[in-house]
Amino acid sequence: MQKYDFDTVIDRSGNYSSKWDELKKMFGRDDLLPMWVADMDFMSPQPVVDALVKRAKQGIYGYTSRPESYFESVARWMKKRHNWDVKTEWMIYTPGVVPALSFIINAFTYPGDKVLVQQPVYYPFFRVIEDNGRRIVNNPLIYKEGRYTMDFDDLEEKVKDRRIKLMFLCSPHNPVGRVWTKDELIRLGRICIDNNILVVSDEIHHDILYPGVKHIPFASISEEFALSSITCTAPSKTFNLAGLQTSTIIIPNTAYYDIYRNFIKRLQLLRNNAFGLVALEAAYTHGEEWLDQLLEYLDGNLRAFTEGIEKDVPQIKVVKPEGTYLVWLDCRELGFDAHQLNDFIIDKAKLAFESGYWFGHGGEGFQRTNIACPRTYVNEAVKRLKSAVESIK
């Protein structure tokens, strides 16, 4: 067994990394510890690096096509990690999940139509909806005793609006870290299907799970659910490949598949990046050992972070995630409004987190951090939060 090292600090600066090189642009200063955008400060699995180096060394980067083995590697992964039987003919390559959400909106709705989201949620959902001239309908999550759940009564009421055509389901949920149970997904799916709402299940975080937690792909629940949904996946969160812009959209309903495919054909988006395709196949074929070790390391990071915050910064509550390497922090006890909290985290704690209010209703007073980094950063973040909070007293 190859033992991977997640402790080594790798200098990412000067590499056009959004997380490190956009600090000044995003947060107004560049002396912050960056724990924001959802990528990892770890190297991808060695077999992925080796495959990319081998491809790069060939030195010819002309047009490439996706072999059948590319899609088969996705299918094998879904079966092995999520017990989901996916046919390769349901899959379409797309350069990213967020672009796919935009294509879906354009392909399946008309201007003025409405899309359901569950705030606080990954905020590019809002941009995709509004930039395309559609409207957001919020089915807010319920936060009670440190845990988020879905509000089905509210959902039953909201779906009476016939202009709602889609639901963007975030599963696992960014930023609150819930991995939805089968019962929750069944209740949600039933309501959407009965009201002709197409469920778009963004499952990009599906592989990042803490011990004992199981992710249920929405479409794996039943044939009816599969035919009433579109699943968005990618190896980008799992293997830290976001910069290679390679994702897979899974559409078991052939009529929906044709609608989506025709839309991306109209955009002439049929070609792929030569490196993305190599990385995806290498990751899904040879990356499992690395992933299992990563998950252990992330669990250790989560414990170190949670224990540190509980001991040294009890005014901040960690909302315990079941999945994702993102951690949602309830900072309301500090008594700041959303903007004061933001300034406090940046100027006093010298940390680059993401402001809770960016994630919509219910995010005020919260911050989202990212623990996919060497443990020294996690411990440093606790230290910085501790001294910042002490400075208020």
Ligand X SMILES: Cc1ncc(COP(=O)(O)O)c(C=O)c1O
Positions in the binding site for ligand X (CB under 6 A): 38, 96-98, 122, 170, 174, 202, 204, 234, 236, 242, 247
* Cβ-proximal residue to ligand X, closest one: 96
**Residue 172 Cβ, how far from ligand X at the closest point, in Å?**
8
Nearest alpha-carbon partner for 371 in 342, 328, 334? 328
Complex with ligand X: residue 298 or 389, whichever CB lies closer: 298
Complex with ligand X: residue 238 or 301, whichever CB lies closer: 238
Q: Find residue 33's DSSP bridge partners.
A: 351
**Residue 340 Cβ, how far from ligand X at the closest point, in Å?**
26
**Residue 139 Cβ, how far from ligand X at the closest point, in Å?**
16
**Residue 99 Cβ, how far from ligand X at the closest point, in Å?**
6
Complex with ligand X: residue 229 or 247, whichever CB lies closer: 247
Complex with ligand X: residue 97 or 294, whichever CB lies closer: 97
Complex with ligand X: residue 97 or 302, whichever CB lies closer: 97
**Residue 284 Cβ, how far from ligand X at the closest point, in Å?**
16
**Residue 170 Cβ, how far from ligand X at the closest point, in Å?**
5
Complex with ligand X: residue 247 or 272, whichever CB lies closer: 247
